[in-house]
Amino acid sequence: MRDRVRPEILAPAGDEERLEAALLYGADAVYLAGQRFGMRSAPANFDREGLRRAVERCHGIGVKTYVTCNILPRSRQLDELPAYLSELDAVGVDALIVADLGVLSLMKRYAPHCALHVSTQLGVVNYETARVLYEMGASRVVLARELSLEEIREIREKTPPGLELEAFVHGAMCMAYSGRCLLSRYLTGRDANLGDCTQPCRWKYEVMEPGRPGRPLTVEPDEEGTYLFNANDLCMVDYMAQLSEAGIDSMKIEGRAKAAYYVAAATGAYKAAALEYEKSGFSATYRPSPWIREELDKISHRPYGTGFYFGEPSQDTKQGGYLRPYQVAAVVTGWEDGWLIVSQRNRFLAGETLEALEPLRPPFFLDTTGMTDQEGNLIEAAPHPTMEVRFRFDRPLVPGTFLRRKNG
């Protein structure tokens, strides 16, 4: 039995802005990608110089950097890999996340200083596979999303203590087995296994019977249609004690394509829960403070579920889009002589009450009475993107604090 320790909170970073949000709101480690060979091509990601800066920034505050190299490359792409792997090794990346055995082999030759993390794309669902990967040099496996807590517990009990287990705990879940899907390529020509998924699993589908042309049928009779492949988002913050007790070392938040606010709020919520859990003495009955769970309802999400952790997952058959209950109004940039300085993100009005989300603190309300522009002129509204705005507040707030309002 290993000593219980606070689980690592692993946050997504799709670009430098989202990286800064993850770091400010408490990430213990971040996962990001270069501009090739990662499973998310939609975010800006990081060029070589950006990766170097990211590693330096993270290491300067004791945060680890993991780079995704987890596409399933075709033979024609392999010739480019050695140079890329050498670049990652040279900039000091802590670990590479790999899904392909050929890439694994190349990594051991061309990135010998990087730890090997095996991606969920490889589909580790049993202890024997995990043990073999450990013998091949893996220091961590990212478990398949289809495992229950009981199955994870058995894997933990039957694998070497030196092998770390990582699992997704929050965010969008793919309906395909461990994320391996051909639906996007089949329907749109964009291959999910090469990082270019168009998420057709989120579309609404109808069935057409050839003998009844022009009369589409839903699989279940519902005026909203049926979303055949659309999985609920995952949310496991209420079950941190159970996840840790089952043997999960690293709790991973999905969302490299999500906005900085999403990254900040989700990372902050899980880190606050991890700190509370540690403070409880790793109590088996730990439950997070209500504000922590409420934070996750204030970010963009689909209806939440618990994935496969407690059995078969529910499918969301009525909601293809996102719930977006809150909107970011501004981001704090400084404080000076009783004036809070913010950068506008969405139009807001003088005298409006906004909710402030500081890192690792319960949110609170403030108002914008007496709002001025950068020159000190009183203004009734902040209509221009990123314009500097000032209003009275009695203390500094951490730069990067989000000010938000409830939609509707």
pLDDT at 223 over 80: no
- pTM of the model as a whole: 0.88
Query: Residue 186 contacts by C-beta under 8 Å, 6 or more apart in sequence?
Result: none
Which one-letter DSSP state was computed for residue 322?
Answer: -
Inform me whether the pLDDT recorded for 221 exceeds 50.
no
The confidence score (pLDDT) of residue 215 equals 72
The answer to whether residues 112 and 157 touch, using CB atoms and an 8 Å cutoff, is no
Lowest average pLDDT, out of 84-88, 155-159, 272-276, 301-305, goes to: 301-305
What domains appear along the chain, each with residue ranges and CATH number?
8-176+232-305 (3.20.20.60), 326-406 (2.40.30.10)
Q: Please check the confidence at residue 225 and state whether its pLDDT lies above 70.
A: no
- C-alpha 23/C-alpha 29 separation (Å) is 8
Contact 330, 389 (CB under 8 A): yes
* 363 HSE (CA, 13 A, CB side): 24
pLDDT in tens, 11-52: 999 999 999 999 999 999 999 998 777 555 555 689 999 999
What is the pLDDT, as a whole number, of residue 220? 57
Pairing mode, if any, of strands 388-392 and 339-344?
antiparallel
